[in-house]
Structure 1
Amino acid sequence: MDACDVKMYYIIIEDPGLPTVPKNVGHICYIQESRYMSRLSRSEFPQELPVICMGSSLDSLLKVNDLKPVTAKEAELLQALGEDSERLKWYLERDALDTALGLTKDAPVTVELDGKWLQGIVRYVGRMTEPKYPDPIVGTFFGIELQGEDKGKGPTDGTYLSKTLFPCKKDCGIFAPFSRVKPMVSKPKLVSKCLTFPAAQLATQPSPQQAHHQPLSTGDRVTFFMDEDILHGMVMDLEEKEGRTLVIISTDRDEKITLPLDSVIKGELLQHEPEPMETDKAIMPMEEVHPLGLGVDSLVEVTLAIGPGYGTIRWIGTLPGQKGTYAGLELEDGYTGVSNGTFKDHRFFRCLPRQGLFVKLLSCRPDSRFQGAADIQNERASANVLQERQVVRSPGALPSSPIASEQVERMLIGRMKGIQGHINSCYMDSALFSLFSCSSVLDSLLFKSTEPRDAPIQSTLLHDIVNPLRSKGFVEGRHIMKLRQQLQELGYCHTFTTEEKDPEEFLTLIMHHIFCLDPLLKLSAGGKVQDSYCYQIFLDNNHSLVLPTVQHLLEHSFHSAGLKLAEVPSCLILQMPRFGKKFKMFQKIIPSLELDITDLLSEGPQQCVLCGQLAYEECVDCFRDPVFSRTGFKVFCRTCSSQVHSHPERLSHSPSPLQLPEGYPAPTTLRAPPPAPPRERLELFAVLCIETSHYVSFIKHGPNSTDWIFFDSMADRHGERDGFNIPQVEACPEIGMYLVMSPAELANQVPRDMKGVAKRLFCDAYMYLYQSTSISLYR
């Protein structure tokens, strides 16, 4: 089954204390995504979930704390293992599972058979049998063609149950689960490369640390890595070759080795440093081990051969076979470590592969890029340290709940709140803040199945952006840059890290190309249905609008284009009419807090605009007739339509019948008219605005007209080239006073005299975001 079509949420039973559950720990379960979202919407965090265990068709109500989420790909890999206990073992160890997710065809591997490890090449990755109803998945196996001296030692020729899954010679193939497959790694395995900032950027934007940093020179002591072995040596010479700096090292083993500069750490960060007191403790109070009070979650700086390196302390304690107290660092993007949080086969914290580094705690110093802004950092740290401490990532973790209206003031209002801007990122900052800070309408993006190559993007979006935003109220700019780098490296756009984009371009990319989300919008035109993720409002030259509401704009756009909605959207993203990004068609647009889309639906019961009874006819020619209303589609019951179109000015009109849902009674003289149908409405939850190419956003977080906040990811800045942006979220209740004004009063308001930031909402709107509070529960 294609990952984009899988709409299940998979879970593994982890807690052993489940006497009421007829399944063992390690058993795989699942629940429909829509069903899970429905449970989530009714509770800030559900305590129990009605899941279906693999091999069963009945619900089992399990405690959420006893379960751990897994992706569809992980579930398929684990399902290939024969025993539940084995599944749990390999799930908890994680490393082999993470490695297996990245294994592809033609990868060289070793495979275990009868206790012996044989060499081979992966020729097939997938299922060996079809799922048995009602199970949605079956195990994923690796088909391996044995190589070299191990040819002829296998049990198959690539055929299983008379079906050839991959071709190979007789007895040269083997099918195995991921637990018996390891990628072949040539030894010694060195740090592959260090992704530094582009050379041009370093040349034009030197940091103070680079300015005073002494380059690596002959005689310096250095640290480097082979596999997970920490080795030391002395620099004998440096040479330039093919545009790279190579370091010639005499190791402490009297060996001579040449390494790239970016694979070497200056100094012996892991040895021969003053040892703090009480080194026998695994984790010690910060006052006893670091004079500057650095602890878990501190942003720190260490000296690498290429210059300063930056990261976050994720763990502090002692390492096997090492003396003293160490810090486990998760390095920023742009710097490469040597592990994923493990040391000598022991896991101490979790991070992405090659992003972890262990150093002496006293080798760490505070991140100097934030010096001079200690007041801001301390304010953030005091509010966040309890929430962040010792948080471990889980690739299938649930998204945090959106920030509730009553929590907004405590969690979001202030400086260094929201998402920190970073190099033309305001379009992305505003879009992500609008979608995820106080709404869950698109949370399915955060845990739905996706292709392995796009899984890191989903992980970054969930772990580094959405969850920190909702749990701490702040996302560092480096995480936004990380997301942009991942999008660029995967080839979606080569300028994602440098240039500003349109929000709709970014949103369509992540919804359509990466997460394969079903289109949010289904438009009906001439009997054909078109799919879309955003809707750009276009108006013809005959419109009479001067100070429109969003409702007016949408109705006029649909009328001029001959469009209708094929179904109620869970999320409706509307782009306001413009001549390019800079030229607005209207000086002001009045926000419609509710969008009535009843008359925009191609099918569904509608009310007569005159008497309110069930309508059976629509007249497109009456659209602009001011006798009925200022604007809007005109639908009538049969009696009212006959009366309206008997007027001499409307004799030329051509009413057309409405399509009613199946089951609605046809009108008869013997039957009373059916009751008036309910209205279908969407509620406004966010607005993106643009002024002088800078995007900001407004969030409607509560039911009151004053429940508005304003977000700017680059509201202020500390320092120049080597400084950083200061994001800010502020309450803007003044918007409420303008929303209750009549159109005439609002038209007379001079934009520059409007209070607070209200002018930006009414005059600079670029994109409106609406949600259906009922439909979003199921999509």
Structure 2
Amino acid sequence: MAAADKLYFIITAKPPSPNGYIKAGEICFIDKQRFDSKQKRNETKILPVVCIGTSFDVLLNKVILQQLTRRSAELLLALESNEERLLALRDAEALEEASNLPEGSQVYVELKKQWLKGVIRYIGGITSYSSDPITGVFFGVELQGDDKGKGQNDGSYYHKTYFTCSKNSGIFAPFTRIRPVDHKPSAPPLQFQSFLSVTSTGPLKVGDRVTFLGDKNDHHGMVMAIQDSADGKMVLISTEKDEEGKQGGEMLVPFDFLIKEEPLNKDDTEKMDTSQGSEMGGITDSDEITIGSLVQFLEKTLRYGIVRWIGYFPDKPEKIAGLELEDSGSGVTDGIYKGKQYFKCPPYCGLFVKLSSCRPDDRFSGVKKQFNGHSDLDGTSVSVEQENVPPIRTEDVSKRLIGKRRGIQGHCNSCYMDSALFSVFSCSSVLDSLLFKSTEHDTIQSILLKNIVNPLRKNGFVSERSVMNLRKQLQKREHCPTYTTDEKDPEEFLSLIMQEILFLDPLLKLCNQSGHIKKEQSCYYYQIFMDYNHHLVLPTVQQLLEHSFYSNSLKLAEVPACLILTMPRSGKSFKMFPKIIPSTELDITGLLVDGPQQCVLCGQLADQECAECFRDTVFSDTGFKYFCVACSTQVHSHQQRRCHKPSKLLLPQGFSYSPSSGSDRRTPPREKLELFAVLCIETSHYVSFVKYGPQDTDWIFFDSMADRVGEIDGYNIPEVCACPEVGQYLHMPLAQLANQVPREMEGVAKRLFCDGYMYLYQSKSMSLYR
């Protein structure tokens, strides 16, 4: 887990959607390095954040998030409910005042609706060990004068002493139950320049512009009326677009799901594109471009729009074109420049550019356009397969998939997407439910199925144009201007497809066992976090997963059909381990919260679990340690383990343990997942390995940019090659494998062991369509 000073802290100030399983009032965080990287790529509309109490990312729209200081996050985290946090968040003055209260301050503390006088003796957490970067901060107060003896403790909480005072004179309370005795108006709250575009906190009134996060799309509109109803306060808004993206109308929305938009900044309304269009062969002051012309201009990518105005600004010598952009919401103005309206268009849809930067939109010119060595109109650049095709069979891989110009053709930083799609769909059906489940985003699903998956499985090749079509749709859906140009993370891409676009049920259900109440969490992939209190040198994926679950107090609530794991690393350079051994089988029996477990010594049905024995290698090198009663008694009679506190297991229905007859003699079944693909990264380039058959040597290696023809105007050549040597290394003894020099390993095996980033596992028994 990253250190707290390397994180941004956030609260979900609004619900993600009316049906979202992440609630408003959750305290979250995001790694600063990760966010800064996304900010450089202008990709901060959807952010991968981690909610406190979980260990996995969830993708949330930045418009519902509000940045916090670390101290504010700690104070709010101490409150029991999300509702309390949201209410406390509104009182910025009290939050700021509590942040600056030192020990020794005289305060009033509320207990059972009475305000008692005391002195702050302790400020900090009162919870047991947690892998979260922060814990809730409480105030330990010693009651004074006539209020002595009216408290709850002597400065201790759950057998741990945080300060000392007389009996029943101590209270631990969150900041909402603390008031300074000398209550002076605090300084105005600090105005943090939040990267999260914190929405206006002013009162909502008729005429305000608002955003409403619907199940399918973001809606923008204007408040028409505010009214009370039996279901609470409702707001009538006039929307610019309906749920299908067509001409909008009026919509009645719950007050809590509306976000007030800030007006355009002055700098934004005056922003202009300054590109010269030299690479575009721009036309200067030509009669060919007039009001109403469809034009294109070059920024980082080609952009398109309609000319609404042509003329000169008083402070600019060049002739200017006012454009209404094709991609709604990607502009900076509604036609106003320095307070003057030059043309009218919806907000955030307009942009002023130099006329010399524009040329006629050649998508409608009827001229064949060369793109990456292929013609748009030659009929071969985009393959469409209407008939559904199953994954490639083991016996067909060699003739259909192996060779040059096989796999998915890469283009313009698409390797993360190429590798992810190839890994998931070429030889596995575990996530095929994505392709067929009912969804409103049928365009994206259709491209995924008919233009990518079916052609890959039938012909063994997918043109980069098919992937570019998918990238364009994702860019349009997310209003992210760099989805067609910049590199992303494969786990974010897969989560976006599964969670935000096609609404697949979460693949994982985890049970958080820290604290007194077990919480179930859902996610789409699991990021392995490692504490530094381990002795792993050449770890297997099995060991890494077990250590991560152990240090984060997690168990699996059920057997997943698909388990996607990402390895511990920082960015694309730092790796915690120089080599990781892929576990071809992942035994998750010991990771299940409610499954029959096997005694690590005698193999019979286990009755107890010992957390303290987890790191004890006397029994085995891996796994949580489970014992039957007899073995547990023997193990914990040793003087080194007498202080251990084994916990009793809840035996599943059908299994029993009787003191008279002993342990149930049946051997509990093992739950195992099989590895079917690995994504690897080296110097910002993703490749993948796929296990396509039952034999140890049935491995293939895929690189979407293995070769290239031409330079700037050229194109990439993908390649799939057999790599049976991988199986040979995987079955080497550990000591022999540790002595292997990476650069001397045969074939491409070095990349699997040294550059492994994402591991994909599937359950044969659970791999039917979800």
Short-chain TM bin: 0.5 to 0.7
- Once the two structures are overlaid, the 10-residue window that deviates more, 659-668 or 688-697, is 659-668
* 1:461-494 CA distance string (max 9 Å, x none): 1111111111111111111111111111122533
Q: Does 1:427 align with 2:431?
A: no
1:368–1:125 distance in 2 versus 1, CA, 3 Å? closer
Q: Does 1:472 align with 2:459?
A: yes
2:391 to 392, 402, 411: 402
Match of 2:569 in 1: 578
Letter paired with 2:438: S
Distance 2:706 2:427 in 1: 20
Letter paired with 2:612: D
Checking the alignment, whether the CA contact within 8 Å between 2:432 and 2:769 is kept in structure 1 is no
Checking the alignment, whether the CA contact within 8 Å between 2:657 and 2:663 is kept in structure 1 is no
Cα deviation, residue 366, structure 1: 9.4
Match of 2:713 in 1: 722
Checking the alignment, whether the CA contact within 8 Å between 2:430 and 2:769 is kept in structure 1 is no
Three-state SS of the structure 2 residue aligned to 1:523 is strand
1:754–1:201 distance in 2 versus 1, CA, 3 Å? farther
Three-state SS of the structure 2 residue aligned to 1:238 is coil
Q: Which runs of 5+ in 2 are unaligned?
A: 1-16, 21-215, 222-238, 253-272, 296-305, 309-357
1:543–1:723 distance in 2 versus 1, CA, 3 Å? same
Q: Does 1:608 align with 2:608?
A: no
Match of 2:590 in 1: 599
How do 1:378-777 and structure 2 match up within 5 A?
A: 393=386, 399-451=388-440, 454-491=441-478, 493-526=480-513, 527-670=518-661, 673-777=664-768
Distance 1:530 1:368 in 2: 45
Letter paired with 1:369: G
Cα deviation, residue 618, structure 1: 0.6
Letter paired with 2:590: D
Match of 1:241 in 2: 290
Letter paired with 2:652: P
Cα deviation, residue 704, structure 1: 1.2
Match of 2:335 in 1: none
Match of 1:369 in 2: 373
How do 1:19-38 and structure 2 match up within 5 A?
A: none
Checking the alignment, whether the CA contact within 8 Å between 2:385 and 2:454 is kept in structure 1 is no
Checking the alignment, whether the CA contact within 8 Å between 2:447 and 2:466 is kept in structure 1 is yes
* 1:419-448 CA distance string (max 9 Å, x none): 111111111111111100111111111111
1:617–1:336 distance in 2 versus 1, CA, 3 Å? farther
Three-state SS of the structure 1 residue aligned to 2:565 is strand
Distance 2:276 2:646 in 1: 64
1:401–1:649 distance in 2 versus 1, CA, 3 Å? same
* CA RMSD, Structure 1 to Structure 2 (Å): 4.2
Distance 1:622 1:667 in 2: 24
**TM-score under structure 2 length normalisation:** 0.54
**TM-score under structure 1 length normalisation:** 0.53
Distance 2:634 2:677 in 1: 42
Distance 1:4 1:433 in 2: 32
Three-state SS of the structure 2 residue aligned to 1:606 is coil
Letter paired with 1:715: A
* 1:649-678 CA distance string (max 9 Å, x none): 111111111222233234342477241111
Checking the alignment, whether the CA contact within 8 Å between 1:522 and 1:566 is kept in structure 2 is yes
Letter paired with 2:671: E
Cα deviation, residue 216, structure 1: 14
Cα deviation, residue 240, structure 1: 3.2
1:365–1:202 distance in 2 versus 1, CA, 3 Å? closer
* 1:495-547 CA distance string (max 9 Å, x none): 21121111111111110011111111111112111111111111111100000
Count the aligned residue pairs.
457
Distance 1:550 1:557 in 2: 10
Checking the alignment, whether the CA contact within 8 Å between 1:564 and 1:600 is kept in structure 2 is yes
Letter paired with 1:460: I
* 1:172-198 CA distance string (max 9 Å, x none): xxxxxxxxxxxxxxxxxxxxxxxxxx9
Distance 1:368 1:636 in 2: 62
Cα deviation, residue 637, structure 1: 1.0
1:199–1:767 distance in 2 versus 1, CA, 3 Å? farther
Checking the alignment, whether the CA contact within 8 Å between 1:734 and 1:755 is kept in structure 2 is yes
Three-state SS of the structure 2 residue aligned to 1:240 is coil
How do 1:90-109 and structure 2 match up within 5 A?
A: none
Q: Which runs of 5+ in 1 are unaligned?
A: 6-100, 107-121, 127-143, 146-164, 166-197, 218-236, 247-258, 262-304, 310-334, 338-356, 358-362, 372-376
1:664–1:588 distance in 2 versus 1, CA, 3 Å? same
Distance 2:493 2:369 in 1: 37
Three-state SS of the structure 2 residue aligned to 1:490 is helix
Checking the alignment, whether the CA contact within 8 Å between 1:684 and 1:771 is kept in structure 2 is yes
Checking the alignment, whether the CA contact within 8 Å between 2:528 and 2:545 is kept in structure 1 is yes
Three-state SS of the structure 1 residue aligned to 2:287 is strand
Distance 2:624 2:368 in 1: 67
Distance 2:371 2:634 in 1: 77
1:199–1:752 distance in 2 versus 1, CA, 3 Å? farther
Distance 1:660 1:651 in 2: 25
Distance 1:365 1:494 in 2: 23
Checking the alignment, whether the CA contact within 8 Å between 2:542 and 2:622 is kept in structure 1 is no
Distance 2:526 2:396 in 1: 32
Letter paired with 2:409: Q
1:731–1:368 distance in 2 versus 1, CA, 3 Å? closer
1:368–1:653 distance in 2 versus 1, CA, 3 Å? closer
1:365–1:643 distance in 2 versus 1, CA, 3 Å? closer
Cα deviation, residue 778, structure 1: 4.9
